[in-house]
Chains A and B, each alone.
Chain A
Amino acid sequence: MSDLAASARVVRALGGRSIRQTFRRPQLLAPIVVFPTLLLAVQTGGAGASVELPGFPPVQSFLQFMLAGAMMQSMMLAGNSGGIAFAVDIEMGFTDRLFAAPIPRFAIVLGRLAGTAALGLFASVWFLAIGLIFGAEIEGGVPGALLAMALVTASALAVGGIGAAIALRTGSASVVQGLFPLVLVVLFLSSAFFPQELMIEPAKTIAEYNPLSFIVEGVREPIISGIDATVTMEAVAAIAGIVVLGLVLSARALQHRLRVG
């Protein structure tokens, strides 16, 4: 068996383990599914009249507008949960056993990220299904839905990289869990929940430059109006930037972990 095929098997096995772990532990699944679904329902029901505000982009309904935000929230929390689970593995010595095994180190991190990406995919399917059930239309049709799913999955992988880097660096689940409020800050300071033009300063200006806003718009565009190449490319560029940042941080954190044990 080639090295690549062996690594792929390791990634698949570890990815499958991380998915099973999430579905077995309600405390890991709740932030990914329950909280974003609850917030989607509450925000759609509570702020639904906002589509009448002057300057609100033309949408079929506020639910249609909010789907991308809910996916982003779920994706970010999946990344955070993946980091927590990784840190728990480090605390319990499971990762040390993997480090001692004859498998490439990158496959250990990639296995965890594959699980996080799969959860991102699950989140996108979940929220698209909720949207369709409650009457939201996907203007971009099947290609638009597939594009939104691909972007959310890739974003989960990217954000999971940062979560994994922090887990590797600190080796503490409580530190990674402590990042939960930061996830909320990044979300609120983006256009995830409201059009950036209608937000209040300073959130409005920060949202304009927040990479998450570019990803949100990339996911939202195929849902509310159809596929737009420019918006999609901006989202891909933002995801690529986060991937590179996650890779650099993970590589450095992995070296640190191997050095300190």
Chain B
Amino acid sequence: MEVAAKAIEAPASPAWRTNLATIAALMARAKNELVRVPGAAIPGVLAPTIFFLGLNGVFGALTQLQGFETGSYESFIIPVSMLQGAGFTGAAAGVNLARDYEGGWVDRLLVSPAPRWVLLAGNVLAASARSLIPATFVLAIAFVIGAEWPGLDGLAVCYLMVAATAAVAACWGSMLALRYKSQSAAPLMQAGTMALILLTPAYAPLALLQPWLEKVANVNPLTQVLEAARQGFVGSVTWADTWPGIVAMAGLLAVLGSLALREMRRTNV
């Protein structure tokens, strides 16, 4: 009785600290899932690796075309595979949220006093952290088969873009998970992120794309993200090639984050 009274009298932690602790707890839960079910990470790692090796083996001769910025197709394509891994990981965060909804876990979170944005941030930041695993794995494979070292600055920008892409994909996946409340929406989550990443100069430089894809790539914000992630692998890192990627990511995060948050606020227990 005395203990309970003391607990009630104890000064409450500041809200920001409680929110950070909640986000950290949600991220730890995602990490535990990874440790307890290591097989769950395999598809996210395997798919971009297969795509990387496959695309390199199949389309490697494209570097012979005039207008290609590099003679090494593995260097050209590796950022695409890293972003693809981030996209898959982010979409998987949406699928996991739908699974948690079906299992009743999300209901329990929603009745907790944690703000909605904190619940969303936990899921999104966990996806960002998880995306570093497939990115690092596929990058190691790329170095083994001859991809060029992008420099520390190039690597840092690339990883920043990977983590941000996973966050964007997780917002997209969470939005769909909360709207459809079913894992059946998984193909839509994956197809959306895959389309966003591949409708860019993924396979060849902008100038070599077919006119329709060039037009789409020019308005696709992921093009700026890919160019920023790729710059170190095919040349040198410049601020001029970096800031459009950062702006594009910030814009995508703002839009998709707001939409996901709106779905979360609309979700009734």
Binding site for B on A (CB under 8 A): 25-27, 30-31, 34-35, 38-39, 41-50, 52-54, 178, 180-181, 184-185, 187-189, 193-194, 198-200, 202-204
CB-contacts of B43-67 with A (<8 A)? 43, 46-47, 50-51, 53-62, 64-65
CB-contacts of B18-69 with A (<8 A)? 43, 46-47, 50-51, 53-62, 64-65
- A39-B198, A188-B57, A193-B59 known, 9 other contacts, Cβ within 8 Å: A27-B186, A31-B187, A35-B191, A45-B216, A46-B202, A46-B203, A49-B62, A181-B50, A194-B58
Report yes or no: A50 in contact with B50, Cβ–Cβ below 8 A. Answer: no
Between A and B, how many residue pairs show CB distances below 8 Å? Answer: 104
Residue in B closest to A56 when the chains form the complex, CB atoms: B61
Which secondary structure dominates chain A's binding surface? helix
Residues of chain B contacted by A30 (CB below 8 angstroms): 187-188, 191
Residue in A closest to B46 when the chains form the complex, CB atoms: A181
Q: What is the total number of residues of chain B having a CB less than 8 Å from a CB of chain A?
A: 36
| In-complex Cβ contact of B54 among A31, A49, A184, A202 (8 A) | A184
| In-complex Cβ contact of B191 among A38, A46, A50 (8 A) | A38
Residues of chain A contacted by B65 (CB below 8 angstroms): 49-50, 52-53
B184 is an interface residue with CB less than 8 A from chain A: yes
CA distance in complex: A167, B62 (Å):
39
Report yes or no: B43 in contact with A26, Cβ–Cβ below 8 A. Answer: no
Residues of chain B contacted by A203 (CB below 8 angstroms): 54, 57-58
Residues of chain A contacted by B56 (CB below 8 angstroms): 200
B212 is an interface residue with CB less than 8 A from chain A: yes
Report yes or no: B57 in contact with A26, Cβ–Cβ below 8 A. Answer: no
Report yes or no: B57 in contact with A185, Cβ–Cβ below 8 A. Answer: no
Report yes or no: B210 in contact with A48, Cβ–Cβ below 8 A. Answer: yes
B194 is an interface residue with CB less than 8 A from chain A: yes
- List 9 tightest A-B contacts by C-beta distance, closest first: A188-B54, A45-B213, A203-B57, A46-B203, A30-B187, A200-B60, A42-B198, A45-B210, A48-B210
